[in-house]
Chains A and B, each alone.
Chain A
Amino acid sequence: MIRFDQVTKRYPGGHEALRNLSFTVESGEMVFLAGHSGAGKSTLLKLVSGIERATSGNVLVNNQNLSKLRASQLPYVRQHIGVVFQDHKILFDRTVFDNVMLPLDIIGFDRRDAQRRVRAALDKVGLAGKEKVMPIRLSGGEQQRLCIARAVVHRPSILLADEPSANLDRAYALDIMELFKSFHQVGVTVLISAHDETLMEDYGRRIIRLREGQFAA
């Protein structure tokens, strides 16, 4: 469950990315986040994953108030969240397999159990044969899938995706959306941002539209 309660985020320098925003995403819900770039979508996702902190208001994730949490507790919140970053944040100095292994290392999974999970996650996103490949040799779409595999390998209860379909052609983007839908179907709360609304409308899910940090009418 994600709940925003009168959340404002002001960056140093005075730019207000979010203004007095309140909404709730129920557990197991799949919600789209729409708006032009600069509307506050990325900031909203960063507040959910505790990468940024709200200037005022409360951000509740899985019944924990991130605004009141000590910095040392934030990592444990993040361990229950999977994030597909806009810029992927893939590590190019290690194989596809080791990239997906990272979240499990962080949580401290048993080695053999972890290896089984990594293979399952790679299989799920269609990268089963590329375990030992270095990420630089993957196509853009494959890198996106690698990022998704890393976001879901530890079976988070919340999955955040920041513009996952950007720079992909429509067929590929639809593939990716189907993938997110399948996670939603097994009970994961999914929050996806995009600036291209045509893709979302096909799914008939709730869409939160942002404009200049507020709900767009």
Chain B
Amino acid sequence: MKHYLYLHAQSARSALLKILRQPFGNLLNLLMLAIALALPVSLYLGVSSLQQWTARLNTTPQITLFMELSSEQADLAAVESSLKHHPRVASFRFVHKDAALKELEQRSGLNAISEGLGSNPLPHAFIVTPQALEPAMLDLLQKELSGLPMVELAQFDAAWARKLHAMITLAGQLAWLLAVVFALAMVLINHNTIRMQILARQEEIAVSKLIGATDSFIRRPFLYHAAWQGGLSALLCWGLSSWLAYQANPALAEFASLYGIDAQLRSLQPLEVLAMLLGAMLLSMLGARLAADHHLRKSQPA
């Protein structure tokens, strides 16, 4: 067992030395892989940063029912009782038009609005929090509520937040889709580079097989080469994405401060780096394995 590990360490070492012996050509290769990795990783980082900022926003939709100005106490009671018994309403809160005016005055700093206007132009309102529903059901609920007697308007408060949320979700899905595409690219790129190497060492492989090399012995150097290639390109990608975040952050912070948000593009967490490293290595090895198996099958018998 110890000897077996020794042999593998030996293979790993000589594969690394082989890469280092041709630094320029291999660096180009690594950069190609790193950039292919950096695209989905950057998108992923962007999306997850956005999610962090928007998590603080209130995205549970609320529906505000504005009553008609002429509505009276009886109408309010009717609406209140139908809200109370509605199965899809989680909770609701009544805002008296006087309270609404007071709040408006406080917020805008214009204390004398009511004096200038003579009468209160604001309607009574109910702020309804629906039970968690799908968007289509929410639309239905909104329509239903706007049909209640003496209700002037039923308005979504958090419609924009919902839209933002949906867009972020879409971007997140796009990041995963891109990740899958580039994972495939990773396999193909490695398949190709390893295939070239195999062709260059065809004679050595043929002779090795003749004098007793097993398939796994023949595959081993190529698998290690691919593993190094994948691992090193993942590290390069980590550097690349950190550099991108570092470059983008000052501008982003300035932009976000206009909206009073403290926004920072986050960089990869240690666990994520590890996952990317392992993922890149495994995908590269898969590509190498496919290339090697193809060659070994082709060169049977012998």
Partner-B contacts on A (CB < 8 A): 49, 51-53, 71-72, 75-79, 81, 83, 85, 89, 91, 93, 102-103, 106-108, 110-111, 150
Contacts and interface: CB of A to CB of B under 8 A. Distances in A.
B7 A108 contact: yes
Given A51-B302, A71-B300, A89 B210 contact: yes
Contacts of B269: none
A89 B3 contact: no
A91 B211 contact: no
B211 A83 contact: yes
Interface of B: 3-4, 6-7, 10, 203-204, 206-215, 217, 300-302
Nearest to A151: B211
A179 B206 CA distance: 27
Contact of B211 (A72, A106, A108, A110): A106
A172 B82 CA distance: 112
B215 A150 contact: no
B212 A107 contact: yes
25 contacts: A49-B210, A51-B210, A53-B301, A71-B300, A72-B215, A75-B209, A75-B213, A75-B214, A75-B215, A78-B210, A78-B211, A89-B206, A91-B203, A91-B204, A91-B207, A93-B204, A102-B207, A102-B208, A103-B211, A106-B211, A106-B214, A107-B212, A108-B4, A110-B3, A150-B211
Contacts, number: 54
B10 A111 contact: yes
A52 B212 contact: no
B300 A106 contact: no
Given A53-B301, A78-B211, A106-B213, 4 more contacts: A75-B212, A79-B212, A103-B211, A108-B7
Contacts of B211: 78-79, 83, 102-103, 106, 150
A51 to B, nearest CB: 5
A111 B207 CA distance: 21
Contacts of A93: 204
A127 to B, nearest CB: 18
Given A89-B207, A93-B204, A106 B212 contact: yes
Contacts of A85: 210
B22 to A, nearest CB: 15
B201 to A, nearest CB: 9
Contacts of B207: 89, 91, 102
Nearest to A90: B207
Given A51-B302, A53-B301, A91-B203, A72 B7 contact: no
A9 B213 CA distance: 24
Nearest to A94: B204
A93 B203 CA distance: 10
Most chain B CB atoms below 10 A, which of A49, A51, A106: A106
Contacts of B6: 110
Contacts of A49: 210
Contacts of A53: 301
Contact of B214 (A52, A72, A81, A91): A72
Contacts of A79: 211-212
A91 B212 CA distance: 16
A71 B299 CA distance: 13
A115 to B, nearest CB: 13
A42 B108 CA distance: 101
Given A53-B301, A91-B207, A78 B215 contact: no
Given A71-B300, A71-B301, A91-B203, A108 B3 contact: yes
4 closest Cβ pairs, A-B complex: A78-B212, A79-B212, A75-B214, A106-B213
